[in-house]
Amino acid sequence: MNHHDNDGAMIAQLMAAFDEVEAAEQRAGLAASTDEVDNGRAFIAAAAQYMFKQSRTPAMAREVLEALLAAVRVRIAAELPKDQIRKLESEFAWTFRFTGAELDALERLMQPAERIVEIKPREVITDRRSIARADLP
């Protein structure tokens, strides 16, 4: 088996991440035009195909995939976590009854360019991961 046999699956995974970010941006009112999205998809797919073909080992291809996934997920700089939390404080506090200690813990757990995408009663969804409310001491 050639290690490039998985290139198509890795490109599909990357495109799924691209679509997730686009959907999150659309929900946040930050959607790009259809032409921009189509151009972005084509660019990402072409860049990924080139980078995977340059990979000499499966480990190198996985490393490239992780780097490209990270780039897709943070291509638009998010506000600082404390600023995002402050803007959403009434939603956190009144709708979901998050405590000040939970919000402080959320701020500490979030990475600098991580964006809050959705707030649920038992978790906070960011553009990179799900943070369980139980993990907020």
What's the pLDDT score for residue 66? 87
Q: How far apart are CA 128 and CA 59, in angstroms?
A: 22
The answer on 18 and 64 residing in a single domain is yes
pLDDT at residue 49 in the model: 92
Does one domain contain both 57 and 93? no
Same domain, 48 and 85: no
Amino acid symbol at 31: A
Domain match, 23 and 69 both: yes
pLDDT of residue 69: 86
Provide the residue-wise pLDDT of the chain in tens; the chain has 137 residues: 466 678 889 999 999 988 888 887 777 676 778 888 899 889 999 999 999 999 888 889 889 998 888 888 775 556 788 889 998 998 899 999 999 999 999 999 998 778 888 899 999 998 889 999 999 97
Check: CB of residue 20 under 8 Å from CB of residue 28: no
pLDDT at 121: 94
Residue closest to 27 by CA, chosen among 113, 89, 118, 94: 118
Strands annotated E in the chain: 116-120, 123-126, 130-132
Q: What is the pLDDT of residue 3?
A: 65
Could you list the residue range(s) of the whole structural domain that residue 9 is in?
3-73
- At position 70, the amino acid (one-letter code) is A
pLDDT at site 75: 58
**β-strand 130-132 against 116-120: which pairing, if any?**
unpaired
φ/ψ (deg, to 5) at 117: -105, -40
- 67 and 9, same structural domain? yes
Same domain membership, residue 130 and residue 93:
yes
91 and 53 both lie in a single domain: no
Q: Which of these three, 57, 73, 89, is where a domain ends?
A: 73
Within a 10 A sphere around the Cβ of 30, how many other Cβ atoms? 11
Residue 4 Ramachandran class (φ > 0 left, ψ -120 to 50 alpha, else beta):
alpha
If asked whether residues 52 and 94 sit together in one domain, one would say no
| pLDDT value at residue 2 | 62
Task: Count structural domains, the chain.
Answer: 2
CA 36 to chain centre: 19
